[in-house]
């Protein structure tokens, strides 16, 4: 089925708006709540090695 010219013009800007207006704020809020890489410094820790 052939797409209309309107969907070709709207698709990329709509996906960019979805990304920047929805997904980016969600990702920033999640990073403010917790650190996914656990980069915090613990002065009392003897090692940072995680056993698998």
pLDDT in tens, 1-52: 677 888 878 899 999 999 999 999 999 999 899 887 877 888 888 888 888 8
pLDDT of residue 50: 80
pLDDT of residue 37: 80
Residue with tokens 């917790």: 34
Of the candidates 31, 13, 9, 10, the one whose C-alpha atom is nearest the C-alpha of residue 21 is 13
pLDDT of res. 1: 66
Radius of gyration of the chain (CA): 21
Q: How many CA atoms are closer than 13 Å to the CA of 20, on its beta-carbon side?
A: 6
Q: Which residue blocks in 1-52 are alpha helix, DSSP H? A: 5-18, 24-33
């Amino acid at each position: 089925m052939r797409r209309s010219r309107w969907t070709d013009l709207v698709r990329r800007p709509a996906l960019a708006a979805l990304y920047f207006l929805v997904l980016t704020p969600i990702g920033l809020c999640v990073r403010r709540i917790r650190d996914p890489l656990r980069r915090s410094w613990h002065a009392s820790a003897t090692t940072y090695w995680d056993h698998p």
